Amino acid sequence: MVANRFVLLATLINTFLFNGALYSFIASNLDLTTLSGLSIAVSVFVIVFIVNLLFISLIIIITPILVKPFLILTAMINSFALYYMVTYQIILDKTMMGNIFNTRSSEAFELITPTLLLYLILIGIIPSWLIIKTRIKSINRGKIVTQLLIFMVLGIYFLYINSSSWLWIDKHSKLLGGKILPWSYIINTARYYSINLKSSDNQVLLPEGKFLNEKKTVIVLIIGETARAHNFHLYGYPRNTNPLLETAGVLTFKNTSSCTTYTTGSLACMLSYNSREKNAEPLPSYLTRLGVDVVWRTNNWGEPPINVTDYQEASELRKNCIGEGCNFDEVLLSGLSQRIQSSNKPKILIVLHTKGSHGPSYYSRYPPQFEKFTPVCRYEEISKCTQQELINAYDNTILYTDYFLYKTIKILKKLKGIPVMLIYISDHGESLGEQGLYLHGTPYMFAPDFQKQIPFLIWMSNDFTKLKGIKNIPQDNQYSHSNIFHTIIGAFDIKTKIYNRNLDVLH
């Protein structure tokens, strides 16, 4: 096949085969029986065609040897990407690319399903095989450039006479851009890494702080995963998903929203003194530097780079853990009481980063006795389950979280004479099929409240309320992840310039 024909064919394949998610978004958001709807749809199609033609022409002109490997590699990745976009309504923007690169391989395996393999064969392997089979003859750069110019002039002319479409395209540009394969993930991966390189530069140290007293204080911060306020009985959910916490005397902060809809963003935000400050020393490192005994225990990942006294992963804690709970979040409680009692520092911060309600395999996040709401969805492939089965499985994870928090409080209550506060806050919420959305990570502007409204609870021991002279704490104000840093600084009685008492919920 002559080279310019090959370019045209590859462009058509790229335009049609890999952009099902883009076209279905257009079909469901536009009335294609009207002239204006149709002209917008064709305009988007023309843009996708021109972008593909431009890049493929450039590659073959500059390095002809790379054009086949490039097309094969992107076809394979596209098949994965398209599957996730269609199944989970995912948008491949820069934060989603960050999520993907932060996913561990064990997590990734949970997502592999028979349908995914079908996508891989039909959209990845078969086109790749055809590309390998095709022999490219006589690469005439002049012809390729001429072809490119002709199509570009025609395309730009078409877009010009249909300029009324631009308003709609511009309004949805972020969503559309995240759906055009392969350019969405290529460009957004580059953007993710360029931003990440910047923030892994040395963190800016926070100003010095002083303890106003040396009284023993223990704070336990439990970071939830994918728990949404909507499914907590404490937040008005009709099902009793909080039978134990209801009896535990916790404060429930009714209007709490997350900073972002993904783990790494929300963790960075809740550990920062200022959510706009991307590169500041995070709370655990700051407190460790000031002399607090900081223990970070994790059954999850995604925290910013931190320096703490003890960093303990679940796999390590599991070695000395006894009982069925060790396979679940309870592993984080193994030896916790002894760790606190053996500390020789007056101020202790324990962070427990849980796996919580991480999807899509909600059913695997809790021991069997917590399967109270049935039947549950047992497929990673959400589309095989009814929405109710999915919600049942999710509600069981909340029921287990209820037990986990209650069990932690019970352990802390036994620390007689030590003032203790426990904070529980989730990193973000979750979509369980509402408006056709699943999981989380939708760009904040478009994300539904289900992904942004999170549970935020506080429990305090009697010794703690006495020590701090706490009486009434308003629970109906607007709160967010920004309150965590300042509430903990306040609870430890640290005098520092960056403390903002307006963000301290106990003040």
Cα–Cα–Cα angle for 235, 237, 240, rounded to 5 degrees: 105
- Which one, 227 or 331, has the nearer CB to Zn ion? 227
Stretch binding Zn ion (CB under 5 A), from 256-264, 312-320, 346-354, 457-465: 256-264
List binders of Zn ion among 223-252 (CB under 5 A).
225
Stretch binding Zn ion (CB under 5 A), from 117-125, 210-218, 419-427, 444-452: 419-427
Q: Are 424 and 469 in contact (CB under 8 A)?
A: no
- Which one, 23 or 301, has the nearer CB to Zn ion? 301
Instruction: For CA atoms 283, 289, 291, 297, give the dihedral sign.
Output: positive
- Which one, 31 or 107, has the nearer CB to Zn ion? 107
- Going by their DSSP bridges, the two strands 255-257 and 293-298 should be labelled as unpaired
Smallest distance from the beta carbon of 304 to Zn ion, in angstroms? Answer: 14
Distance CA 56, CA 67 (A): 7
Stretch binding Zn ion (CB under 5 A), from 191-199, 327-335, 381-389, 421-429: 421-429
- Which one, 158 or 301, has the nearer CB to Zn ion? 301
Q: How far apart are the first and last CA of the chain?
A: 74
What is the distance, to the nearest Å, from the Cα of residue 231 to the centroid of all Cα atoms in its chain? Answer: 19
> Which two structure tokens, joined as six digits, stand for 433?
């099929």
Sequence letter at residue 264: T
Smallest distance from the beta carbon of 61 to Zn ion, in angstroms? Answer: 44
| Binder among 99, 184, 263, 396 for Zn ion (CB under 5 A) | 263
Give the nearest residue (CB) to Zn ion. Answer: 263
Q: Could you tell me how many residues of this chain bind Zn ion (CB under 5 A)? A: 3
* Binding track over 452-481 against Zn ion, x by CB under 5 A: ------------------------------
Nearest to 180 by CA among 21, 68, 7, 12: 21
Residue 375: asked if its preceding bond is cis (omega within 30°), the reply is yes
| Binder among 427, 442, 454, 458 for Zn ion (CB under 5 A) | 427
- Which one, 246 or 313, has the nearer CB to Zn ion? 313
Secondary structure letter of residue 228 according to DSSP:
-
Stretch binding Zn ion (CB under 5 A), from 37-45, 128-136, 210-218, 423-431: 423-431
State the CB neighbour count (10 A cutoff) for residue 382: 21
Smallest distance from the beta carbon of 302 to Zn ion, in angstroms? Answer: 7
- Whole-number Cα distances in Å, 411 to 74, 335, 416, 467, 476: 52, 10, 10, 20, 28
Q: Tokens 């300029």, residue? A: 163
Smallest distance from the beta carbon of 411 to Zn ion, in angstroms? Answer: 25
What is the distance, to the nearest Å, from the Cα of residue 94 to the centroid of all Cα atoms in its chain? Answer: 11
- Which one, 267 or 306, has the nearer CB to Zn ion? 267
- Which one, 259 or 317, has the nearer CB to Zn ion? 259
Residue 182: asked if its preceding bond is cis (omega within 30°), the reply is yes
List for the chain the helix, strand, coil content (%; round to 5): 55, 10, 35
- Which one, 7 or 223, has the nearer CB to Zn ion? 223
Give counts: helices (H), strands (E), the chain. Answer: 20, 13
Q: Where are the beta strands (DSSP E) in 209-290?
A: 209-211, 217-224, 251-252, 255-257
- The verdict on 329 binding Zn ion (CB under 5 A) reads no
Stretch binding Zn ion (CB under 5 A), from 121-129, 186-194, 327-335, 427-435: 427-435
Distance CA 39, CA 168 (A): 11
- Which one, 6 or 450, has the nearer CB to Zn ion? 450
Smallest distance from the beta carbon of 224 to Zn ion, in angstroms? Answer: 9
- Which one, 63 or 102, has the nearer CB to Zn ion? 102
Question: Angle of helix 263-270 relative to helix 94-101, nearest 10 degrees?
Answer: 90
Stretch binding Zn ion (CB under 5 A), from 109-117, 125-133, 184-192, 222-230: 222-230
* Binding track over 36-75 against Zn ion, x by CB under 5 A: ----------------------------------------
Smallest distance from the beta carbon of 300 to Zn ion, in angstroms? Answer: 8
Which positions touch Zn ion (CB under 5 A)?
A: 225, 263, 427
